[in-house]
Amino acid sequence: MKPYSEMTADELKEELAGLKKQYHKIQALGIHLDMSRGKPSQDQLDLSMGMMDVLSSTDDLTCEDGTDCRNYGALSGISEARQLLGDMMENNPKDIIIYGNSSLNVMFDTISRAWTHGIMGNTPWCRLPEVKFLCPVPGYDRHFKITEYFGIEMIPVPMTPTGPDMDMVENLVSSDAAIKGIWCVPKYSNPQGISYSDETVRRFARLKPAANDFRIFWDNAYGVHHLYDDRQDYLIEILAECKRAGNPDLVYKFSSTSKITFPGSGIAAVATSPNNMDDFLTHLRHQTIGHDKVNQLRHVRFFGDIHGLIEHMRKHADIIRPKFEAVEEILERDLGELQVGTWTKPLGGYFIMFDSLPGCAKDIVARAKKAGLVLTNAGATWPYGKDPNDSNIRIAPTYPSLEELIRAMEIFTVCVRISSAEKLLQEKSA
């Protein structure tokens, strides 16, 4: 089939008539599918059920250093968990604090502390006339919700195939002391699935912020979430690069096991410089006596070491790889010749990014919902939910079964074709 843009008005009308008949048949099926969030599937959750058996009432819950995991203490986390997460994050265990189940919660707490108490003796953000944050776009909606919650002004920074537009980042960060941070998902980014290039990471490490309390919020959520053994993105380790550049305090690096074990019962961590660690712990001592050490020990005994964790991730990849490939195949089959959208083909992570014709994303998402398919809200990948092009849609392939996913993508492509044909027909009639 030729591209929609090359069709005459009569050809588009004919195409639309056929598509709408197909759409109404889909509606009549009463389908209910939810692809709004990037959640692990039941099969993925089942991979970690053995964690329920690694500890029992007869087990010794004492760590190698004598810490009794049933009791108070170990504010930074047990040493074995710091070692495991250190290996996963490629950081020294001494530079890591282990938290509860959610890295998002750690990020929220970090912003909250900066807001109320400041960073390393600097003025609390709540006392400043304005506070700004850089937001690579499209990006992770929950990052943007945190800064929006605190009333922090968000400045969109365009993403490129190698990461954020670093010319823009460098210029803004060095010229405006009100800019206090930047959100980053550096590996298999949400939603594009791209990874920052070596040059991008090095430029981040060599930033010269106007604000002493500027920090890079480096959310390496998908560091070990590869789809293939033989094709994997590589990411330079940011803390080592910052230390090498003479900027050791520039980064907070976050990660967790949320999509490795159980999202509601994983363990999260932050890796950072000794100075930042001291600042974190100064506040953390007033917040808690320690996080769930029994759960930390459970993770350590389940995986054994980083090799066990990596083997576990291969099992995840075996489950979700066919889903990513199915999405790409259906998009290519149904839309490839029509030139009505573009999409990414990531090697890892949890998402595929789709860009429709400008002005079509909200209509596509709304139309899909009426046919029984719930997608992430159009605009969610931008601060304040406002995509200026109304074109970006995040596809989350992991949660549905493969059969459900194939059905969902067939609904999606019909909706894309209807919205695109209507837009082009409208333009031809204008």
Model pLDDT, residue 36: 94
Domain ranges within the chain, ordered by starting residue? 4-44+310-429, 61-304
What are the tens digits of pLDDT across the range 198-249? 999 999 999 999 999 999 999 999 999 999 999 999 999 999 999 999 999 9
Nearest 5 degrees, angle CA 331-CA 388-CA 108? 90
pLDDT range class, residue 430, cuts 50, 70, 90 = confident
Output the average pLDDT for the chain.
Answer: 97
pLDDT classification of 1: cutoffs 50, 70, 90: confident
| Range 45-48, long-range pairs (CB < 8 A, 24+ positions) | 45/262, 47/312, 47/315, 47/316, 47/319, 48/260, 48/261, 48/262, 48/302, 48/312
Instruction: Name residue, tokens 């803004």.
Output: 172
Please give the pLDDT value at position 429.
Answer: 83
Q: Give the pLDDT score at 292.
A: 97
Q: How many Å apart are CA 311 and CA 327, to the nearest integer? A: 25
Nearest to 184 by CA among 251, 242, 275: 251
Q: What's residue 119's pLDDT?
A: 98
Strand partners, 177: none
Q: If you average pLDDT over residues 323-346, what whole number do you get?
A: 98
Closest of 126, 215, 150, 137 to residue 179, by C-alpha: 215
Instruction: Quick: pLDDT tens for 339-373.
Output: 999 999 999 999 999 999 999 999 999 999 999 99
Task: Give per-residue pLDDT as tens, 66-104.
Answer: 999 999 999 999 999 999 999 999 999 999 999 999 999
pLDDT computed for residue 259 by the predictor: 96
Is pLDDT of 7 > 80? yes
pLDDT at 320 over 90: yes
Q: How far apart are CA 355 and CA 365, in angstroms?
A: 12
CATH class of 61-304: alpha beta
Q: Residue 152: phi, psi to the nearest 5?
A: -80, 130
Say what the pLDDT of residue 351 is. Answer: 98
- The distance in angstroms from the start CA to the end CA of the chain is 25
Q: 330 near 405, Cβ under 8 Å?
A: no
Overall average pLDDT of the 137-165 stretch: 98
Q: What is the fold of 4-44+310-429?
A: Aspartate Aminotransferase, domain 1 (3.90.1150)
Q: What percent of the chain has pLDDT over 90?
A: 99
Q: Tell me: the pLDDT tens digits for 152-181? A: 999 999 999 999 999 999 999 999 999 999
The residues with which 352 forms a beta bridge, in sequence order, are 395
Three-class DSSP category at 131 = coil
Structure tokens at 126: 């709540």
Going by C-alpha positions, the residue among 340, 295, 287, 252 that lies closest to residue 77 is: 295
Does pLDDT of 20 surpass 90?
yes
d(CA 347, CA 244): 29
- Which residue in this structure is represented by tokens 């159980």? 262
Please report where in the chains the tokens 């999509």 appear, as a residue: 259
Of the candidates 397, 400, 394, which has an alpha carbon nearest to the alpha carbon of residue 191? 394
Helix then strand then coil, % of the chain, to nearest 5: 45, 15, 40
Tell me, what's the pLDDT at 150? 98
State the pLDDT at residue 428: 85
**Number of alpha carbons in the 13 Å side-chain half-sphere of residue 326:** 20
| Cβ contact 153:133 at 8 Å | yes
